[in-house]
């Protein structure tokens, strides 16, 4: 048996302040955790992206001057939602499609975006070493 679990939409009243990704994600996380229908079904992970050079290259960012060029952030913060595993359900159950979802207010990709797609598009494998996360 396979199950499709769709993530919650980005709230219509979600607060966004340019250049304050950590605050934006904190407020989104707080909003999601205040809703039992989300908090009981999803694990929430705050992901801090950076590197030792403080030049993490992220593609498909709204602030990029060109769509084919990355934005270099000293750091960036996103939210990942992953379905909770219900121990009462059959352990052989499979989740169809992408089980985890990324929320990034600064991306040009859909919000939420399947984690696998977000990872592949935002962090391409052929980056120069100094820009890797």
pLDDT per position as a tens digit, 65-116 = 998 899 999 999 999 999 997 645 544 455 555 589 999 999 999 999 999 9
74 is catalytic: no
Angle at 18 between CA 72 and CA 129, to 5 degrees: 10
Whole-angstrom distance, CA of residue 128 vs CA of residue 14: 35
User: Which listed residue (9, 29, 76, 88) is catalytic?
Assistant: 76
Q: Residue 106's CB: how many other CB atoms inside 10 A?
A: 21
9 is catalytic: no
Length of the chain: 133
User: Which listed residue (104, 113, 117, 126) is catalytic?
Assistant: 104
In contact, 44 and 25? CB cutoff 8 Å: no
> For residue 49, what is the enclosing H or E element?
strand 42-49
pTM passes above 0.75: yes
Domains and CATH numbers, the chain: 13-85+96-131 (3.10.620.10)
């Amino acid at each position: 048996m396979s199950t499709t679990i769709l993530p919650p939409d980005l709230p219509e009243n979600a607060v966004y302040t340019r250049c304050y990704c950590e605050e934006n994600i904190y407020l989104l996380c707080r909003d999601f955790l205040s809703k039992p229908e989300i908090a009981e079904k999803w694990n929430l992970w705050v992901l801090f992206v950076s590197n030792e050079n403080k030049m993490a290259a992220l593609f498909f960012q709204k602030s990029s001057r060109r769509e084919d060029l990355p934005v270099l952030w000293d750091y960036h913060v996103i939210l990942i939602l992953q379905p909770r595993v219900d121990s009462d359900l059959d352990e052989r159950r499979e989740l169809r499609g992408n089980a985890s979802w990324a929320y990034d207010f600064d991306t040009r990709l859909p919000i939420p975006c399947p984690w696998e797609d977000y990872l592949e598009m935002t962090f391409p494998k052929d980056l120069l070493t100094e820009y890797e996360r």
